[in-house]
Amino acid sequence: MVDAVLFELLHTEMVAELWAPDSDLDPGPGGQRTSLQVLEGVGFRVGQALGERLPREMLAFREELDVLKFLCKDLWGAVFQKQMDSLRTNHQGTYILQDSSFPLLVHVGSGLQYLEEAPKFLAFTCGLLRGTLSTLGIKSLVSASVAALPACKFQVVIERS
């Protein structure tokens, strides 16, 4: 009935709470971390924990590209009940994951004036990707960008040790 939307509702309320004008939670300009960093951190730890729950055989990927494909298909399926629309790579450790209708953005208005609202709906998921990769043994930097709502791109840059 409602289980599929529960995660999205909780995410929405977490964002709302962090950006509420009268929020006691907003660390403010003097805070050590911004609200975006808090959300990214929560996403990272959820991603780590999700990664730890993966079936054993999934943890034995041979190729980096297989791991990224897993994120696009299985992780996205589990979290958003859909698949990522495209995955591109420069074969040098940079991957572009594109979702043409990202579920956490579809409720945001689609005008240009809403573009500046987008980052707060992407920070958790950047962390989620980074955390899942971390559990799979891959250190990365993940950022997101939006050109036209509700489409968005996640850029994953693998950190070589």
What are the residues facing 6 on neighbouring strands? Answer: none
Q: In what order do the strands lie in the sheet with 94-99?
A: 86-89, 94-99, 152-158, 140-145
Single residue of 54, 115, 151, 157 touching its own copies by CB under 8 A: 54
Residues 36/118, Cβ–Cβ less than 8 Å = no
Q: Does 41 bind its own copies (CB under 8 A)?
A: yes
Q: CB under 8 A: which stretch of 29-37, 93-101, 110-118, 138-146 binds its own copies?
A: 29-37
What are the residues facing 86 on neighbouring strands? Answer: 98
Q: CB under 8 A: which stretch of 37-45, 60-68, 94-102, 142-150 binds its own copies?
A: 37-45
In this structure, is the dihedral angle defined by the CA atoms of residues 70, 80, 7 and 21, taken in order, positive or negative? positive
In the complex, the residues that contact its own copies under the rule CB under 8 A are: 1-7, 9-14, 16-18, 22, 24-25, 27, 31-33, 38, 41-42, 45-46, 49-50, 53-55, 74, 77-79, 81
